[in-house]
Chains A and B, each alone.
Chain A
């Protein structure tokens, strides 16, 4: 079915790929960007949207979201995740394999691909398990899973502690040019820990998680990448030492990239306050110096991408004593707003921020989106970076409401989200 062309006029076009920023228009038709530039003010037969000077940019690409389908549809379905993503300006979501059953079988990947296509308004691309049953013991069928549509390979919230398993998986993945994404947090060093190890945890009487739980695995992985030559992405780093490890690896020319969660750019351990379980995360929120180091690493290019680490948890899993509560926070809908705080506080330019939220993840995943370019998919967002609001969790489209930004003052809201040339979210009509 051919849709009517849509012409955005009077927009502030930002292409994070080239860093170019200009006033102008953009024409979307048949799912792709047909034309763009300052000259573009009209097009035949097109529906015209006057952007009123708002920013028109590629939709966000989120490399890390947990969705409860299959196995936990009360937490989140592909449909609800798609709606939440659309409201947050996220046009492509990579779903984690930590489902029930785990996404370690080509048939289940096929199911997710089809079901997402049928029910979600945004692109949802499944990451497949790196090891069978996410157990860290035997590598999954990387070749067949990739053929079935797996975009990358990860054990989600789990780490592969056995270095031999990791070595062989990296070696095998390299043969198939598959991307391995690893959550670097050694479960043995985490032990009973529930928050960042240090003074604050000691005051609260909570067992801590040392930064070394992250740095030791990350350092090991850098050695294994050097040994195997595989493409490797550290899912999320959280502390200054980790940034240094990645910086050094990149300087040596290793095929390594890494991400940071929006939470670790926005919050620190003090925000846990009096045991707020919505801030119980994995990796844990670190101290303010670490948060500053994360921002630093983002601006100098050590950190490639920002992820929402969207992890919906229902009330029963969160309304518990801190140590017993589940890890995770929802984040799809607040990703852009929270990230814009870095722009408003002059820590990073808007094109550079958008680069970490769209162009870079597209590059790492090998997607054609993430850029404003003729022929690229018309996955777009129109947003007012200054629009102020106070987050009310009841407004969240996600089935779970565990947002660490509940009641926070935020600036910057998505007006329109477009996926493949189709408007999937429009705040003007609310």
Chain B
């Protein structure tokens, strides 16, 4: 299925989600396991709601109370879950490549809900949907991805997806937060945020983890906000109709100021809504390819 078609399907799911009766039957009788090795309120609940709206039986596996804590390996966990005959497993893991490894060991469909600093495909899809709905297109748009790109799976997935859809993606970050060698991928990089935002249609901010702000990768929160935090002044370097995005959860006053986050140019709340729609679209598209689908 091509990406535009998947986004078209997601557009339909937005309508479903806005009805009073939100229940569909495309996943009726199917078992969906949300296997989250890393805590995530937002993504997990988004996948849970998406599955339920499609009629699936959704089970959340909380890793804190699971056998993983008792020392079970990832592959054993996969084999155990596989024996329960789920149809779809949604996986979030802190290690890059873990989802890929798990997918090799189970018979059902596997959805990557984020693996380490590698990929977060449904986030990129929901971002693409949000952009397309607001700008009417993705092709030709200048998208500035700003902040902790080094540790960000959101950035990597967006770079791949948005570039594939014809956007001009740029990266804005202090060099310490840029993956070494990233320039070889062909994305222009900027260490000066104002220059990086010039002419941008979309400003996509990334979360900076606390443990990275105290002198290890950047000197301090104050300094980071001064040079890389999105405030009205820096946003003014982007196009006047530029839109602001953030995958959440936000650190207000670290990578983004409150007035920008809550301002007229912000799409941050809409992204959350699109998250459910995109995940419904992904699950439904998968379901049509499942055995007996």
Give complex CA distance A139, B217 in Å. 8
CB neighbours (8 Å) of A131 from chain B are: 215
Q: Is B98 part of the contact surface with A, judged by Cβ < 8 Å? A: no
Give complex CA distance A137, B219 in Å. 11
Give complex CA distance A144, B220 in Å. 10
Interface code A130-152, partner B: CB below 8 Å = 1, 0 otherwise?
Answer: 01100001111111100000000
Asked whether, in the complex, the Cβ of A175 is within 8 Å of the Cβ of B219, the reply is: no
CB neighbours (8 Å) of A139 from chain B are: 215-216, 219
CB neighbours (8 Å) of B232 from chain A are: none
Q: Is A120 part of the contact surface with B, judged by Cβ < 8 Å? A: no
CB distance from A175 to the nearest CB of B (A): 4
Within 8 Å by CB of A144, from B174, B192, B214, B226, lies: B226
CB distance from B194 to the nearest CB of A (A): 13
Asked whether, in the complex, the Cβ of A175 is within 8 Å of the Cβ of B174, the reply is: yes
Asked whether, in the complex, the Cβ of A138 is within 8 Å of the Cβ of B215, the reply is: yes
CB neighbours (8 Å) of B214 from chain A are: 138
Asked whether, in the complex, the Cβ of A172 is within 8 Å of the Cβ of B226, the reply is: no
Q: Is A171 part of the contact surface with B, judged by Cβ < 8 Å? A: yes
Asked whether, in the complex, the Cβ of A172 is within 8 Å of the Cβ of B222, the reply is: no
Within 8 Å by CB of B219, from A171, A172, A174, A228, lies: A172
Q: Is A168 part of the contact surface with B, judged by Cβ < 8 Å? A: yes
Give complex CA distance A139, B176 in Å. 12
Given A139-B215, A168-B217, decide whether A175 and B175 contact each other with a Cβ distance below 8 A.
yes
Given A171-B176, A175-B191, decide whether A137 and B215 contact each other with a Cβ distance below 8 A.
yes
Residue of A140, A142, A172, A228 ringed by the most chain B CB atoms within 10 A: A172
Asked whether, in the complex, the Cβ of B226 is within 8 Å of the Cβ of A168, the reply is: no
Give complex CA distance A168, B213 in Å. 12
Asked whether, in the complex, the Cβ of A143 is within 8 Å of the Cβ of B223, the reply is: yes
Asked whether, in the complex, the Cβ of B216 is within 8 Å of the Cβ of A172, the reply is: no
Within B183-226, the residues touching A (CB, 8 Å) are 191-192, 214-220, 222-223, 226
Asked whether, in the complex, the Cβ of B175 is within 8 Å of the Cβ of A141, the reply is: no
Within A144-183, the residues touching B (CB, 8 Å) are 144, 168, 171-172, 174-175
Asked whether, in the complex, the Cβ of A174 is within 8 Å of the Cβ of B215, the reply is: no
Give complex CA distance A138, B191 in Å. 20
B residues with a Cβ closer than 8 A to A are 174-176, 191-192, 214-220, 222-223, 226-227
- Further pairs besides A139-B219, A140-B219, A171-B176: 6, Cβ < 8 Å: A141-B219, A143-B226, A144-B223, A172-B175, A172-B176, A175-B175
The 4 closest A-B pairs by CB, nearest first: A138-B215, A175-B191, A141-B223, A141-B219
19 contacts between A and B (CB under 8 A): A131-B215, A132-B215, A132-B219, A137-B215, A138-B214, A138-B215, A138-B216, A139-B215, A139-B216, A140-B219, A141-B219, A141-B223, A142-B219, A142-B223, A144-B219, A172-B175, A172-B176, A174-B175, A228-B175
